[in-house]
Amino acid sequence: LHLKQIFRALGLFVLLALFVRGLVMEPGRVNGPSMEPTFFDSQFFAVNKFILLLRAPRRGDIVQTKDPTTKKLIIKRIVGLPGERLAVHDGRVWLRADDGTEASLIEPYLEEDEWTLPVTGSSTVYVKISEQSYFLMGDNRDHSGDSRGYGAVHRSEIYGLVMKPDF
């Protein structure tokens, strides 16, 4: 009789753990230098899958997605939002309003001497980010394959918000 209760409790625990991992929180590990100095190669992180069910991704959020070229899980920062016009020139990311005014993106998470260059090495034209899509970049811009190469990522391909452990 006690053995049956133990197995029932153990089964309930396993189901709860699978639910939490699948729908709420999942561990991850950085692969490569593209998010330095925020995250370093082999560093652990947690992916909060639940929070993005409650709110839309925001500029500055670090999210987990799948690299469209390699199909591997990656983490990147959101720099462009749906409907925005974005360009990379003069070493920075720029946004253009509907009235034609430009503003460079303030990116306090970048190293002071970090330059953002387009994939081609020269100025890019302003691209309009389609609805439900986000423009993603790594914090280590010289060593990041990101939306500058493969384009904006659809919301359905963003799996969760990356959280840095406090230990």
Q: Which of 34, 133, 144, 147 is catalytic?
A: 34
- Told to judge if 66 belongs to the known catalytic residues of this protein, a careful annotator would answer no
Residue 28 has phi, psi (to 5 degrees) of: -150, 170
Which letter, b or e, does each residue of 17-35 get, where b requires 16 or more Cβ atoms within 10 Å of its Cβ?
Answer: eeeeeeeeebebebebbbb
CA-based R_g, the chain, Å: 19
Which of 49, 76, 144, 147 is the catalytic position? 76
| 130 among known catalytic residues | no
In the chain, the N- to C-terminal Cα span, in Å, equals 42
> How many of the other CB atoms lie within 10 Å of CB of 167?
4
- CA 136 to the chain's CA centroid: 6
Q: Give the catalytic positions in this structure.
A: 34, 76
